[in-house]
Amino acid sequence: MREYKELYIGGSWAAPSHDRFVDVVSPHSQEVVGTAPEGTPDDVDRAVAAARHAFDHGPWPTMDPKERLAAVQRIADAYNARQAELSELISTEMGAPLWFSQVGQVGATSMALAAFLNFGAQYPWEERRTGFFGQDVVVRREPAGVAGMITPWNVPHFTTISKLIPALLAGCTVVLKPSEEVPLSVLALAEIIDEAGLPEGVVSIIPAGRDTGEHLVRHPGVDKISFTGSPTAGKRIASLCGQDLRRVTLELGAKSAAIILDDADLAMTIERLPLASLLNSGQACIAQTRILASRQRYDEVVDAVTTMVNGLPVGDPLDAANYIGPMVSQRQQQRVDGYITLGQEEGARLVTGGNGMPDGLDRGWYVRPTVFADVDNRMRIAQEEIFGPVLAVIPYDDEADAIRIANDSAYGLGGSVWTSDVEHGVDVARKIRTGTLGINQYLLDFNSPFGGYKSSGFGREFGPEGIEPYIEYKSIALPLG
Ligand code: NAD
């Protein structure tokens, strides 16, 4: 049982403005595993006031970038010292299988921290260039101001670090509103940031619901919003930011495709596919849940995918042997189960899985890992993000048809091409309108920009490009002659 009684406001632990506490229930055991305060708009007001003051008057935005880098190094050190505990905490709270918490939640957060420390050390915060008229110009990358951040429950530390760290390196002050589903994981992160000893007002962390998030988005004291979450919320947030011309970046959902070309080594493809398509029990924005297979090898691919899915152990997320855990909540379980019903109603062929609980489990928010074959890309199960372990195997006629189907989506975030000719795979990848792709695997690379085309959002995270959302450019032209 982990109990938090305070929120992290303006760089200190502080009692919440209202007596609102939530019980955190394990998605596996359905037992209470912790309690935490739920933030309110009043808490956001306090946090924004502190962040505003720290930005307008504090040392943080104007200090030597090397000092901010040193503070981020302290955060990384404190985070790395608690990796094992944090992995277990995330698995307990939101049900990610332990292997994924270790690799894709906490491990990825640690690697992303290392990557940002590297970019931060080399970043050209200020440079001089020769202007058009021959004079010198000082080009500065200045902090964007007070940054409001809103994050989802599925990868709570990773989606936080991808925003918080570049913002801190740039000199922004930050008010973070994580999802109310993961207060324990994000308040543990607040402990780590507290340990790193940043100046007063620089970071606040207030887990809370949608209304409090919207209060942050509308807040006149906030200069920039960075959001990761569903496309529906993203549209609403973008329109609110538009009204005030507040800067905004959006990392949203997707429905990505894994294209298996005819020359793919099918055994290798199937071995690596779970990491591309079923990571975090399918609750991943980058999950490639549309599997595109040519009609020539269609039956072979459907059989192989089915055998693979049937072989994935499902159960207690804290048991390292399990590949698939529960859904985060009953609401998510019902949503995924609803799509499994829908797929059957739409006429897709249910090959394995289906409605109801997996064999051997009688409690927890589980769904049965499911494969649909004979899926038409126009079906809703091929167009909408299900966010669970449900795969749609879609036939294509030839390579051009595969590319057309992959691109026939409102989204464009991830994707992969599976082939024995890597360069040809890169050629195919060039034709897919999506922000990241992998050849014969899927990798979210921390040295490279990550983000979405189309309804998957705008702006990029990671790589040196990941610092851009948190800076304003300023050009100072020196006298001619
Ligand atoms: P969600 O949109 O319901 O909630 C995300 C966050 O936004 C939560 O903190 C929530 O409280 C807040 N929120 C919701 N509506 C809001 C509003 N109108 N104003 C302000 N805040 C609001 O999404 P979720 O269910 O928590 O997460 C799953 C979604 O996140 C999926 O669509 C997934 O693809 C997406 N996601 C995207 C990425 C990415 O990098 N592209 C990464 C992880 C998750």
Atom of ligand 1 nearest to the CA of 152: 26
- pTM for the whole structure: 0.97
Cα-to-centroid distance, 288 and ligand 1 (Å): 19
Query: What CATH code is assigned to 257-445?
Result: 3.40.309.10
Q: Could you tell me if 383 and 409 are in contact, meaning their C-beta atoms sit under 8 angstroms apart? A: yes
Q: How far apart are CA 290 and CA 190, in angstroms?
A: 37
Q: How far apart are CA 188 and CA 321, in angstroms?
A: 26
Q: How far apart are CA 298 and CA 393, in angstroms?
A: 9
The structural architecture, per CATH, of the domain 2-252+456-477 is: 3-Layer(aba) Sandwich (3.40)
Residue nearest to atom 19 of ligand 1 (CA): 214
Atom of ligand 1 nearest to the CA of 457: 41
Q: What is the pLDDT of residues 225-245, one digit of tens each?
A: 999 999 999 999 999 999 999
Supply the pLDDT for residue 214. 98
Cα-to-centroid distance, 221 and ligand 1 (Å): 22
Q: Which residue has the tokens 């082939």?
A: 419
**Contacts within 8 Å (CB) and 24+ apart, 457-460:** 457/234, 457/249, 457/250, 457/251, 457/252, 457/413, 458/249, 458/250, 459/226, 459/248, 459/249, 459/250, 459/251, 460/249, 460/435
Residues of the chain with pLDDT under 50: none
* Residues designated catalytic: 251, 285
Cα-to-centroid distance, 9 and ligand 1 (Å): 22
How far, in Å, are 95, 120, 281, 302 from residue 391 at the CA level? 20, 39, 11, 10
Supply the pLDDT for residue 109. 98
Q: Could you tell me if 178 and 151 are in contact, meaning their C-beta atoms sit under 8 angstroms apart? A: yes
Supply the pLDDT for residue 481. 76
Instruction: Give bridge partners of residue 420 from the DSSP assignment.
Output: none
Residue nearest to atom 12 of ligand 1 (CA): 210
Out of 179, 216, 328, mutate this one to test ligand 1's pocket (max ligand atoms within 8 Å of CB): namely 179
Q: Could you tell me if 68 and 60 are in contact, meaning their C-beta atoms sit under 8 angstroms apart? A: yes
Q: How far apart are CA 141 and CA 138, in angstroms?
A: 10
Show me where the domains of the chain are located.
2-252+456-477, 257-445
Out of 162, 185, 285, mutate this one to test ligand 1's pocket (max ligand atoms within 8 Å of CB): namely 285
Cα-to-centroid distance, 406 and ligand 1 (Å): 24
Q: Could you tell me if 109 and 157 are in contact, meaning their C-beta atoms sit under 8 angstroms apart? A: yes
Q: How far apart are CA 352 and CA 358, in angstroms?
A: 11
Supply the pLDDT for residue 386. 98
Max alpha carbon distance in the chain (Å)?
81
Q: What is the pLDDT of residues 63-81, one digit of tens each?
A: 999 999 999 999 999 999 9
Cα-to-centroid distance, 250 and ligand 1 (Å): 10
Ligand 1: residues with CB < 6 A are 150-155, 159, 178-179, 209-210, 213-214, 217, 228-230, 233, 236-237, 251-253, 285, 385, 387, 413, 452, 457
Contacts of residue 223, defined as CB under 8 A and 6 or more positions apart, other chains included, come to 144, 145, 146, 147, 246, 247
